[in-house]
Each structure stands twice: as C-alpha cells, then as structure tokens.
C-alpha cells in the first residue's frame, strides 16, 4: 500500500521567512503533485514533478523530486500571508491517486 | 466556464437517511472522482470514473454508490447515512489523473 507522509503537520512563521515542507514515502512514484487548499475551498494544483532529481520553480516556490522518486520537497522563499493554506502532496498509479495529510502553513504579517 | 460544481454545499442528515451529492464539470474531461476529506487524514478516494460508462472503487468505497450519468455529471449516493460518513466531500475531474480540478466541496453532517 502506497503512503505519503508529510512534515511538519503545522507551521506558523513570520512574513519574510523561508520554509521547507516535505513529502516522503517508501514507495516509488511515477510523478508527484503538490496542491494548495484554502479554507472552504477545494485543492488547486500547483505543480507536477515527474523526473527524479527534477526541480521546478513557481515564483517564490521551489519544488524538488527526489532522485529515487520516493520523496519531494516544497521550499517557499520570503513567505507572504497569501501563502497561508494547506499544502498537499499527491501521487499514485493510474487513476488511484493518494494524498498526504498535508502541512498547514500560517504566515503572520 | 464554471469548472467543477457541487450541490449541495451543506447538508445535515439523520442516521439512516439517504441522499445524493451532485457533481458536474464543463471542461469536457473524461475522468471524474469523488473524495472525502477528514481532519488529519488528507483526501481519500471513494470512487472514480475513468470515462463515461465506467466506474471503479477507490480506497474507501463502503457505504457509497456512484453513477456516471453522462460525460459532465458524476453523482455520489449514500443509501443509509452513518455518523462515520460525516466529512467534506470533494468531486474532481481530469484529462490526466496527475492534473485534477476540484469542486468547492459538500460539507455533510450525519447525526
């Protein structure tokens, strides 16, 4: 059974700080996705990483896929209050996508 | 272009009552999904429909049934609601499983 573990579960930081959140598994994934979910809304896809070692940047967000395709990280530079939300990683085989429990980020102004 | 829409937004049921959650997408996607989200557990796949006319079980299908009415619509039915089905339910659609578009969710409370 594939599992995705995310850490930390909760993170509260000041505006302007940098942070990294992690998504780990003992299973190999063909790709991993990162979603952000705001209160009362559905998740929104941020990025998909496919190749082991791949790094993708989305403005102040940097996503990395581990060389062995078992883990991924999300680094946010100079966090802003607008980054507040629940960050979910996801992956799977075919249509059976599994999600991690998420990292809840709160950025204080 | 509304994306993925879900009705109702909120619902309170008594144990044993039945209800159907509706989902529709206007993006011409072939695949649709139903998830439930519980505190501390992320999203769990209940059922999915890879294409019109097909449905398959996900991780937590017990107590639920689905119908892919046409390419646009995918409904989730609770025949006899239980308190353990209290959750937030999300519908999603996609062309590829790696890129799913989610609706705003239905918040269900079963007393």
Cβ contact B105–A41 (<8 Å): yes
Report pLDDT for B8: 97
What mean pLDDT, rounded, does chain B reach? 95
Report pLDDT for A7: 97
pLDDT band, very low/low/confident/very high, at B46 (cuts 50, 70, 90): very high
Which tens digit of pLDDT belongs to each residue from A6-35? 999 999 999 999 999 999 999 999 999 999
Cβ contact B48–A100 (<8 Å): no
More confident residue, B92 or B2: B92
The dihedral formed by the CA atoms of A43, B10, B92 and B32, expressed in degrees to the nearest 10: 170
**Lowest-confidence range among A34-38, A85-89, B39-43, B76-80?**
B39-43
pLDDT band, very low/low/confident/very high, at B20 (cuts 50, 70, 90): very high
| Paired strand residues for A87 | A36, A103
Q: Which residues of chain A lie closer than 8 angstroms to B103, CB-CB?
A: 42
Report pLDDT for A70: 94
User: How far apart, in whole angstroms, are the C-alpha atoms of residue B13 and residue A77?
Assistant: 45
- From the list B43, B44, B47, B22, the residue with the least C-alpha distance to B33 is B47
Report pLDDT for B41: 82
The set of residues, in sequence order, having a beta carbon less than 8 Å from that of B41 and lying 6+ positions away, is A101
User: How far apart, in whole angstroms, are the C-alpha atoms of residue B102 and residue B2?
Assistant: 11
């Amino acid at each position: 059974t594939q599992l995705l573990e995310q850490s930390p579960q909760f993170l509260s930081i000041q505006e302007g700080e940098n942070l990294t959140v992690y998504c780990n598994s003992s299973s190999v994934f063909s790709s991993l996705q990162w979603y952000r979910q705001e209160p009362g809304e559905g998740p929104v896809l941020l990025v998909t990483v496919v190749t082991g070692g791949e790094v993708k940047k989305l403005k102040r967000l940097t996503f990395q896929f581990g060389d062995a395709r078992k883990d991924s990280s999300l680094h946010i530079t100079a966090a802003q209050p607008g980054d507040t939300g629940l960050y979910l990683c996801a992956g799977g085989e075919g249509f059976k996508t599994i999600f991690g429990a998420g990292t809840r980020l709160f950025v204080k102004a | 272009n509304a994306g993925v829409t879900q009705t109702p937004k909120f619902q309170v049921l008594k144990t044993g009552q039945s209800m159907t959650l509706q989902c529709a997408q206007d993006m011409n996607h072939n695949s649709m999904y139903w998830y439930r989200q519980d505190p501390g557990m992320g999203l769990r796949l209940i059922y999915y429909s890879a294409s019109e006319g097909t449905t398959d079980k996900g991780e937590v299908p017990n107590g639920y049934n689905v119908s892919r009415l046409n390419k646009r619509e995918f409904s989730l039915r609770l025949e006899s609601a239980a308190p353990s089905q209290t959750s937030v339910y999300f519908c999603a659609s996609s062309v590829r499983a790696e890129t799913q578009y989610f609706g705003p969710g239905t918040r269900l409370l079963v007393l």
